[in-house]
Amino acid sequence: MSVLIVGLLLGGTYALMAMGLQLQYGVARVMNLANGEVIVAGAFATFWLFAGSHLSPFVSIFGIVPAAFVVNWAVYRILILPLVRRAKNQGQLDVDSILATFGLSFIFIGILLSVFGGEMLTYSYLARPFVILGEPYALNRIAAFLGSAILCASLYVWLHWTRAGLSLRAVSVNSSAAALVSINVERASAMAFALGGAVSAAGGSLLSMFLTFDASQGVIFTLKALVIVILGGVSDIRGAIIASFILGMTETLVATFIDPGLTLAAAYMLFIIMLLVRPEGLFGRRPS
Amino acid sequence: MTGREMRQLAIAALLFAAAALLPFSGSGYWLTLGISIAMFTVLATSWTLFSGPTNYISLATAAFFGIGMYIVAAGLDRLPFPVLIVIAGIAGAALALVVGLATLRISGVYFVIFTLGLAELVRQIVAWAQNVMGASSGLYVLITLPDPTLYWLLLALAAIVFLIGWLIGRSRLGFALRIIGNDEVVAVHVGINTARVKVILFVISSIFASITGALVAPRWSYVEPSIAFSPFLTFEVVIMALLGGVHRLWGPLLGVIPFTLLWEFISAKFPAQTTLLLGVSFLLIVYVIPRGVVGLVEDLLRGGAARSAGAERIPRWLKAVLQRLRIGHA
Amino acid sequence: MLDAAAKPALQVSEVSKRFGGLVAVDRVSFALAEYEVLGLIGPNGSGKTTMLNLISGALKLTAGAIRLYDDEISAQPANAIARKGIARTFQIVRMLPAMTVIENVAAGGVFGHARRWGGELEDYAIGLLRRVGLDARPDTPVTALTYIDQKRLELARALASDPKILLLDEWLAGLNPTELRTGIKLVEALRDEGRTIIIVEHVMDAIRSLCGRCVVMNSGAKIAEGTPKEVLADSEVIRAYLGADDA
């Protein structure tokens, strides 16, 4: 039972980083392989602010999110936009953005390595037990979960009840139709990409409260975010959230009963099952 | 076989024979460099066999390379080296078959994503398996292969890659592959079983990667997962192939040589910023020379031909040589 | 008229295709006799191209069955159906952009119904180019061709597999009057050499001169079947194309 709750807590926290990737792939249509590095950067920045200035992650987030937004906006305008403009179809854009963000991920790793070095970083914040239903759980995991829940809910509200959010959703459904109703698709995509990066960095910030990070772990987070987004059915937020919980629980089950070093294997297991049983994901539409 | 094809084979044989003379030059440094170049030529060319025509970017090279390396490292006290190399090839084929059948029938993007984490996944599983069996994750490799032998083995492997690539290029399989890369819908409607073709090419490409890993294992006396499954390896292979050009069989070779030399220079002068510079050069290639050196050369040729007779950019003899080197299709 | 005892080349029985809630094809049945040229007509959005996609295997049936002679092809993948001898052109021409004219034609003849290779393939392909009236040099890149030439090339590619049934999806669309006359003559020649063809078209002149029989679709369902003269005079058909007032 307690394993399930830990799994839920983990899954809920994963939801945030997955939503970041979903904004980038579902709306901006960019397969961003550097997403994991943004998550790691968010975690590192939080660590640095905590270790250096004793700032609580919940305070640091207010600085990290805008910073990540700006950086990702710049990445979109400088790196991605030329590719979008020169791509003749979505397939070519996929290939180009995969290659470009693959290169970008190494640049990010390089920057992280030179600024923070190669060691594993962790810090202790809210590492006290908190009792739920008679079992103790780490307070930092609960806090991260709550933080993620609040941010996901805010994002959901923004997407569904504001005009800007509406334009993003329109672009993710059909970008040429969105252009026809005078939505500036380029600006919406840049906004989605930047927002996605900001959300991912926030996710990394929250995850840093209870996970240990080093500069090379980005690819693992990219993979997990990708598996969640695909499992949920690329364009659907509900799908991504449910898939996050599924991954969180599967991972915790595997870590508890088989081996804690096999977290990626858990994600791959879900990936393979999905590919074999329902390739369009939980809420995805089967391509005709 | 046409006259042109015989000429191509003859030139290739000559080049390989010339390359085989390197160990006799007496310089250990150049031989080491030669081994690097030979190894990356095999990896980049076999990568291009699949990822070139289909545009399905495989990021799994390190997974297959690492498996090959680990099989040799783990089995060397029980089985002879040549047997282990064969086993490495079989293991690579098996993994490629699983990955290919799972993802290649569905979508190119899923394939790329799957391969992205594959090396890391295999690394985790290998580490876990060793944990379970009570072994440590690092392995000692207790045979050494003298450099010239390793060089000739890699050169021979490169020759095999080129030969197989050349044969595929002239075959129905190669034609099918090019059609798939052009328009998969058309490919299906002319009767090509696209999934089967893609899987076959992916398996062939991966076998070379795992055999290469097995061959070079003796170079390290101590093999660790982080060495065997290093993401930098995949990255370097992809960047070299892209730099050279993925639409010709000999394209990657044109990327391997300059990049290896450039890399020697950079890692000597800027050891702390290698990752960063790798990333930057990767982006430069993707943005500035997307079709690689081959693309540049062919643009030059086309530009030279379009000009009037009095303003040829490159000498005619050079143009003739370059045109003769076109292996495969028109 | 059709000889009732002869086996149809293609038998479409109660075929339906649903996309979620949208019914694109609604229990359509018809038979195609050997050597026949059948017109499949109807207003835009009536499901004609979907029907062709179902026959060629590009889409999977939701219900019903399709038989090619004795062979049930309903559940088979498109490449298997292509190998069995069904070839098609596409509504929007699909070229192999990085390849030459001759390679585009040859592509049709290697893997399918009629398998050729090497010199034999090359001669065959060049013959087909001549047949469809494409006089570009064989090693021209296809991106240099005009639209009508690309259409000819696509037809040559479809013919390269020596298909039992040829599906032409609005092959005559987008042509000026001269090109249209040439195009119709070309299809007539194909008919006269004994090909079995389904034509989806909007150009009524072509339908009238090429087709012995027509099937009319509207909103996914079949609303009429008969000779072009019969169906084009049918009030239901007129209503479907022009609206209720003109029937």
Cβ of B188 and C95 within 8 Å?
A: no
**Euclidean distance between CA atoms A253 and A247, whole angstroms:** 10
Measured CA angle at B28 (ends B25, B30), to 5 deg: 70
Residue C199 and residue C147 share a domain: no
Q: Which CATH number is B94's domain given?
A: 1.10.3470
For residue B321, what pLDDT is reported?
Answer: 56
Cβ of A220 and B117 within 8 Å?
A: yes
SS3 state at C197: strand
Cβ of C87 and B179 within 8 Å?
A: no
Chain A and chain B share a number of CB contacts under 8 A equal to: 117
Cα–Cα separations (whole angstroms), residue B195 to B318, C26, C78: 41, 31, 12
**Euclidean distance between CA atoms B243 and B47, whole angstroms:** 13
Cβ of B283 and A79 within 8 Å?
A: yes
Residue C19 and residue C67 share a domain: yes
The answer as to whether B181 is a domain residue is: yes
Residue C67 and residue C176 share a domain: yes
For residue B308, what pLDDT is reported?
Answer: 38
Q: Return the minimum-mean-pLDDT range out of B25-29, B60-64, B149-153, C73-77.
A: B25-29
Domain boundary among C139, C162, C185: C162
The answer as to whether C141 is a domain residue is: yes
- Which range marks the domain in which residue C62 is found? 10-85+164-246
Residues in B closer than 8 angstroms to A102, CB to CB, are: 57, 59, 235, 238, 282
The answer as to whether C91 is a domain residue is: no
**Euclidean distance between CA atoms C148 and C172, whole angstroms:** 9
What pTM did the predictor assign?
A: 0.87
Identify the bridge partners of residue C38 per DSSP, sorted by sequence position. C198, C213
Domain boundary among C162, C188, C215: C162
Residue C118 and residue C75 share a domain: no
The answer as to whether B330 is a domain residue is: no
**Euclidean distance between CA atoms B218 and B141, whole angstroms:** 6
Cβ atoms of A197 and A68 within 8 Å: the answer is yes
Nearest to residue C231, comparing CAs of C52, C41, C37, C30?
Answer: C41
B61-75 helix and B28-54 helix, angle to the nearest 10 degrees: 130
The answer as to whether B329 is a domain residue is: no
Chain A interface with B: residues with Cβ < 8 Å = 31, 33, 79, 82, 91-92, 94-96, 98-100, 102-111, 113-114, 216, 219-220, 222-223, 226-227, 230, 259, 261-265, 267-268, 271-272, 275-276, 279
**What does DSSP assign to residue A123?**
-
Residue of B176, B191, B329 lying closest to C83 (CB–CB): B191
Residues 6+ apart with CB under 8 A from A90: A29
Cβ atoms of B211 and B88 within 8 Å: the answer is yes
**What does DSSP assign to residue A281?**
-
Cβ of A285 and C20 within 8 Å?
A: yes
Residue C194 touches partner A, C-beta closer than 8 Å: no
Side-chain-side CA neighbours of residue C78 (13 Å): 21
Nearest to residue B58, comparing CAs of B110, B135, B122, B134?
Answer: B110
Q: Which CATH number is C194's domain given?
A: 3.40.50.300
The answer as to whether C3 is a domain residue is: no
The answer as to whether B93 is a domain residue is: yes
**Euclidean distance between CA atoms C91 and C89, whole angstroms:** 7
Q: Does residue B319 register a pLDDT over 60?
A: no
Between positions 53 and 82 of C, the ones with CB within 8 A of B are: 56, 58, 77-80, 82
For residue B67, what pLDDT is reported?
Answer: 94
Nearest to residue A21, comparing CAs of A157, A156, A199, A153?
Answer: A199
For residue B315, what pLDDT is reported?
Answer: 54
Local confidence band at B40 (pLDDT 50, 70, 90 cut-offs): very high
Identify the bridge partners of residue C221 per DSSP, sorted by sequence position. C218
The answer as to whether B194 is a domain residue is: yes
* pLDDT mean across residues, chain B: 85
Residue C136 and residue C239 share a domain: no
Local confidence band at B328 (pLDDT 50, 70, 90 cut-offs): very low
Above 0.85 for ipTM, yes or no?
yes
Residues in A closer than 8 angstroms to C59, CB to CB, are: 288
Cβ of B283 and A100 within 8 Å?
A: yes
- Which range marks the domain in which residue B55 is found? 3-324
Closest alpha carbon within chain A to C62: A288
Cβ of B116 and A222 within 8 Å?
A: yes
Residue C14 and residue C79 share a domain: yes
Nearest to residue A65, comparing CAs of A116, A129, A20?
Answer: A20
Residue C173 and residue C62 share a domain: yes
Residue A34, φ and ψ in degrees, nearest 5? -95, 5
Local confidence band at B136 (pLDDT 50, 70, 90 cut-offs): low
Residue C61 touches partner A, C-beta closer than 8 Å: no
For residue A48, what pLDDT is reported?
Answer: 86
Q: Which of B183, B184, B190, B197 to mutate to test the interface with C (most CBs of C within 10 A)?
A: B190
A90-116 helix and A218-232 helix, angle to the nearest 10 degrees: 150
Cβ atoms of B206 and B64 within 8 Å: the answer is yes
Residuewise pLDDT in 10s, chain C (247 residues): 455 557 889 999 999 999 888 899 999 999 999 899 999 999 888 899 999 999 999 999 999 999 999 889 998 999 999 999 999 999 899 999 989 999 999 999 898 777 888 888 889 999 999 988 888 888 888 888 888 899 999 999 999 999 999 999 999 988 888 888 888 999 999 988 888 999 998 888 888 889 989 999 999 999 999 999 888 888 888 888 877 655 4
* pLDDT mean across residues, chain A: 86
For residue B325, what pLDDT is reported?
Answer: 53
Complete DSSP assignment for B241-287: HHHH-TTSTTHHHHHHHHHHHHHHHHHHH-GGGHHHHHHHHHHHHHH
**What does DSSP assign to residue A213?**
B
Cβ atoms of B236 and B134 within 8 Å: the answer is no
Residue of B179, B185, B329 lying closest to C107 (CB–CB): B179
Cβ of A288 and C59 within 8 Å?
A: yes
A193: its two tokens? 């990409």
CA distance C59 to chain A (A): 7
CA distance C67 to chain A (A): 22
The answer as to whether C1 is a domain residue is: no
Domain boundary among C114, C140, C162: C162
CA distance B286 to chain A (A): 7
Residues in C closer than 8 angstroms to A285, CB to CB, are: 20
SS (H, E, C) A9-48: HHHHHHHHHHHHHHHHHHHCCCCCCCHHHHHHHHHHHHHH
- In this complex, the chains that touch C, judged by 3 or more CB pairs closer than 8 A, are A, B
Closest alpha carbon within chain B to A265: B121
Cβ of C59 and A285 within 8 Å?
A: no
C143: its two tokens? 């991106």
**What is the number of other CB atoms lying within 10 angstroms of the CB of residue C201?**
22
Q: Does residue A89 register a pLDDT over 80?
A: no
Residue C195 and residue C155 share a domain: no
Binning chain B into helix, strand and coil, the percentages to the nearest 5 are 80, 0, 20
Cβ of B279 and A110 within 8 Å?
A: yes
CA distance B45 to chain A (A): 18
Chain B interface with A: residues with Cβ < 8 Å = 55, 57, 59, 102-103, 106-110, 112-114, 116-117, 120-121, 124-125, 127-128, 131-132, 231, 235, 238-239, 242, 272-280, 282-283, 286-287
Q: Does residue B142 register a pLDDT over 60?
A: yes
Measured CA angle at A178 (ends A176, A181), to 5 deg: 115
Number of domain units in chain B: 1
Residue C136 and residue C171 share a domain: no
Residues in C closer than 8 angstroms to A288, CB to CB, are: 19, 59
Nearest to residue B202, comparing CAs of B4, B53, B11?
Answer: B53
Cβ of A288 and C19 within 8 Å?
A: yes
Residues 6+ apart with CB under 8 A from C64: C12, C13, C14, C15, C16, C27, C28, C29, C74
For residue B281, what pLDDT is reported?
Answer: 86
Residue C106 and residue C69 share a domain: no
Residue of B106, B272, B279 lying closest to A275 (CB–CB): B106
The answer as to whether B214 is a domain residue is: yes
Q: Tokens 């078209």 sit at which residue?
A: C201
User: What are the domain boundaries of chain A?
Assistant: 2-277
Residue of A94, A99, A268 lying closest to B121 (CB–CB): A268
- In this complex, the chains that touch B, judged by 3 or more CB pairs closer than 8 A, are A, C
Closest alpha carbon within chain C to A288: C59
**What is the number of other CB atoms lying within 10 angstroms of the CB of residue C153?**
25
What is the architecture, at CATH level 2, of domain A2-277?
Orthogonal Bundle (1.10)
**Euclidean distance between CA atoms C231 and C208, whole angstroms:** 11
Residue A288 touches partner C, C-beta closer than 8 Å: yes
Residues in B closer than 8 angstroms to A235, CB to CB, are: none
Nearest to residue C9, comparing CAs of C28, C36, C27?
Answer: C36
Positive/negative CA dihedral, A135, A139, A141, A142: positive
Closest alpha carbon within chain B to A258: B128
Number of domain units in chain C: 2
> Mind listing the pLDDT tens digit for each residue in B254-309?
999 999 988 888 888 888 778 888 888 888 888 888 888 888 888 887 765 444 33
> Mind listing the pLDDT tens digit for each residue in B75-104?
887 888 899 999 999 999 999 999 999 888
Q: Return the minimum-mean-pLDDT range out of A24-28, A113-117, A161-165.
A: A113-117
